[in-house]
Chains A and B, each alone.
Chain A
Amino acid sequence: MCTVSVNSMKIWNFFLILLLSQLCRETAGSLKLVQVLFRHGDRTPTETYPNDPHQSWKGGWGILTNKGKSQMYYLGKLLRERYRTFLPEHYIAENVYVRSSYADRCIMSAQTFLAGLFPPKDDQIWNPNLLWQPIPVKSVPRHLDNVIAMKKQCLVYDDALKNAYQSPKIKQINEANADLYEYLTLATGNPVKDINAVEYLYNTLEIELQNNLTLPQWTKNISLNHLRKIAEMNFAIFSDTTLMKRLTGGSFLTEVITQMKTKIDRTSALNIALFSGHDVTLITVLRTLGFEKLFKPDYGAYLVFELHEANGDYEIKIFFGENYETVPQQMELEFCKSPCIFNNFVKGLHAVLPDDWEAECSRY
């Protein structure tokens, strides 16, 4: 053992350096395309209930707050830092694609995120007193959107969702919580009959708490954590079955894969695609990818799809950031272990990618 020659040491060092440089190249040079789906920033409640003592929100219901704007700006800066060597500092139209849900808070979140990601540089400064530049944010009206808001009419899906709410699993939860529902109905003045109503109520209470508002006395008798657990189940119910995943998250993933394909075909100059959505969008997409853990996504939570070129092949890396200020953590796909090659990624998702969304929505 002690007889290891100087020469072989040198060889080892050489390999080590080679390995390191290879690793570095992979993290910077091999990256081809980044796609990010994020939840909007801090908002006011979208709902209230008749007995809610906190019914006046500055700016209105469901709007992005100043805090929310700062969060999204921060996230934009965080990703600028992460992709400093990959993403040109200058905004160039053909390198960037931004699509938002129809909702004001999502469009505004995308705009503020972009203000952080692409502050104008040098010759792009058009107003020396305003270090901001416009970047187009595309969106589709709610009733036409089957990618982010996922509200485009789909009869097959509507039936599946109805069935999911009637499933033995959910019925059992409703039965177990019958007393709670009755209590909440009485206390709020709103009929609370299912997990959906509990989720809406929980969201409102949570936001009120986050804003240091005092919750009414009746909330002392219940466990908010228990309400949260029910709310988390409701987030998951929108992608309960493979069919439901196919018609929601699958539609989104088709968009992501299409962008990757044009990059692989070298027919696109795209560097980054951004999708501005909701908590349900994130849960649905995560579940469609096989991450079925129940949770409630925080403001600015985000999912990253990276496309890398490696050894003549293309590799997918997926990361998740828990909120606007956390560094994203890599996630291991169950059906496509690392290194996850593009073709295997698409193959693995076969069951949840719709072939023809419109046709599958009206098929009986």
Chain B
Amino acid sequence: MFVVPRSVILLLLVSEGLINHSSCEVEDTLLSVIVIYRHGDRAPIRPYQTDPYKDPSNWPMGWGQLTKIGKRQQYDLGRWLRERYKNFLPEEFSPRDIYVRSTDVDRTLMSAQCNLAGLFPPDANQTWNSNLAWQPVPVHTVPEQLDPVLSMKKPCERYRQLYQALFTTREFVDIQRENRELYEYLTQNTGNEIYNLETLEQLYNTLFIEELHNHTLPEWTKSVYPHKMARWADMSFALYTYNPKLALLRTGPLMDVIYKAFDNASLPKMHMFSAHDTTIADILNTLGIFDRHSPPYASTILFELRARGVNRLVNILYKNSTTPQRMILKDCQFDCPLDTFNEILDRIRLSDGEWESACEARFLGMVQFGTLQTGVFLGCMGLLFVLLCSFIISIVWSRRRRETVNYLRIPNQEE
């Protein structure tokens, strides 16, 4: 089973720049790359009731929308990717080389477009407008409610049950108790109901953005923001994948896509996913390499598959500032053999069909039936009950008769 007790996780974050590339790495051939990033700088998702900056004029692009800074961040990330993969990814865009998928949210769709503007500036052949150094590159998406892979918003009843159950555990009951005063303070001052880690994180996020955009925060925040709140906001990112069961249902379909991308050489060289802070946290946490934090704008996870001689090696890197860090899986070293990597993924991935059936609601460990099945089930049980009753009755009856007979006989015999 997939068991990565977080207390035992040995997390080795080594800055890539600190390690000299060994001479044999020069002979490595990059085979496939998976890039997953968070969108760039955005406006707050929503203000709080007493927010001094709740007037929409403070955020002309609209709530939750990508800002100009965010566009630039993604464009720069695209240029950074071009530099890193200049010998791997042809300069000329071709859908055979790259497949881009985004969650169905404006800021991630736009982030992907900006990233690609940096990654694929048109070369001489692809210049279609001499006044515009830009070309279209397709960004695919799936409506959130239908997407278990990247949005992870397709309803999953079993996940909902398990997630609810998480907060009845001792650990979380204690956290609730510990935070009661903090929640009360925040609720009083914001006019919003702050009652758990998720609502706390939403508020933290809004304050963080307002401060980032040079808005002076109100006086009441001084005693709680950022320090008191930060720890809990960081922890909130671990919630969706808090235990192996949650992680499997949450990121299983995405892990399956990653597995298949490295498994099939005929697929594009690069898979690019434009998503959210939660996506970054979910992936790292599922892999057991999450150092609890709020993933910053344009933070990026890279999965690289290399050939070294006959060996196939997988590397994972996490870029949340200028230099990417090497991430080391507990059960594998940095240059992780593909077979070992696949074994690790096998424990944490689910195909579409597997996910669908794993999501069915359970009751006492049993798959809960739909209405039709429940009807049939209850009918059968009823029939069985009737049969059993009539069986017992018939036994009792025949016994009685036998007894009667015996009774009758005995005197006969006695006679």
Contact = CB atoms under 8 A, between A and B. Distances in A.
Nearest to A62: B95
B136 A138 contact: no
A136 interface: yes
Interface in B346-390: none
B136 A111 contact: yes
Contacts of A132: 117, 132, 134
Interface in A69-109: 69-70, 73, 92-94, 102, 104, 107-109
B95 A107 contact: no
B128 A59 contact: no
Interface stretch (B64-72, B212-220, B239-247, B398-406): B64-72
Contacts of A131: 131-132
A94 B128 CA distance: 30
A115 interface: yes
Nearest to A132: B134
Nearest to A90: B60
A60 B71 CA distance: 30
B94 A93 contact: no
Contacts of B140: 102, 107, 139, 141
Interface stretch (B108-116, B173-181, B298-306): B108-116
A148 B263 CA distance: 33
A363 to B, nearest CB: 19
B128 A93 contact: no
A127 interface: yes
Contacts of A93: 61-62, 65, 106
Contacts of A107: 136, 138-140
A289 B18 CA distance: 66
Given A60-B96, A93-B62, A134-B114, A69 B135 contact: yes
Given A60-B94, A93-B61, A127-B75, A140 B143 contact: yes
Nearest to B66: A134
B126 A138 contact: no
A144 interface: yes
Interface in B24-47: none
Contacts of B146: 140, 144
A104 B106 contact: no
Q: Which of B60, B127, B138, B142 has the most CB of A within 10 A?
A: B138
A287 B111 CA distance: 38
A104 B117 contact: no
Contacts of B139: 107, 137
Interface string A129-162: 1111111111111001000000000000000000
A126 interface: yes
A64 interface: yes
Contacts of B125: 58
A203 interface: no
A271 interface: no
A63 interface: yes
Contacts of B109: 134, 136-138
A73 B106 CA distance: 21
Contacts of B135: 69
Given A60-B94, A93-B106, A115 B134 contact: yes
A112 B129 CA distance: 11
A210 interface: no
Nearest to B60: A123
Contacts of B72: 126-127
Nearest to B126: A66
Contacts of B75: 127
Q: Which of A126, A134, A137, A138 has the most CB of B within 10 A?
A: A134
A64 B128 CA distance: 11
A220 to B, nearest CB: 33
B332 interface: no
A244 to B, nearest CB: 25
A136 to B, nearest CB: 4
A56 B184 CA distance: 68
A108 B114 contact: no
B133 interface: yes
A136 B108 CA distance: 9
B204 to A, nearest CB: 25
B141 interface: yes
Q: Which of B72, B111, B113 has the most CB of A within 10 A?
A: B113
B273 to A, nearest CB: 15
Contact of B138 (A59, A108, A126): A108
B146 to A, nearest CB: 6
Given A136-B106, A144-B146, A104 B133 contact: no
A69 B95 contact: no
Interface string B128-163: 110111111111111100100000000000000000
B95 to A, nearest CB: 5
Contacts of B68: 124, 126
B136 A69 contact: yes
B91 interface: no
Nearest to B127: A66
A92 B60 CA distance: 8
Contacts of B256: none
B210 interface: no
A166 B94 CA distance: 40
Contact of A126 (B71, B104, B126, B127): B71
Nearest to A136: B109
Contact of B129 (A60, A63, A70, A137): A70
Contacts of B138: 104, 107-108
B275 to A, nearest CB: 14
Contacts of A70: 128-129
Contacts of B141: 138-139
Q: Which of B75, B131, B139 has the most CB of A within 10 A?
A: B139
A134 B94 contact: no
Contact of B133 (A108, A130, A135): A130
B59 to A, nearest CB: 11
B244 to A, nearest CB: 30
Contacts of A127: 71-72, 75
Nearest to A65: B128
25 contacts: A66-B127, A69-B128, A73-B128, A93-B62, A104-B95, A107-B138, A108-B137, A111-B136, A111-B137, A112-B136, A126-B68, A126-B72, A129-B133, A130-B117, A131-B132, A132-B117, A132-B134, A133-B71, A134-B66, A134-B113, A135-B110, A136-B110, A138-B109, A140-B146, A144-B142
Closest 5 CB pairs of A and B: A134-B113, A111-B136, A108-B136, A136-B109, A134-B110
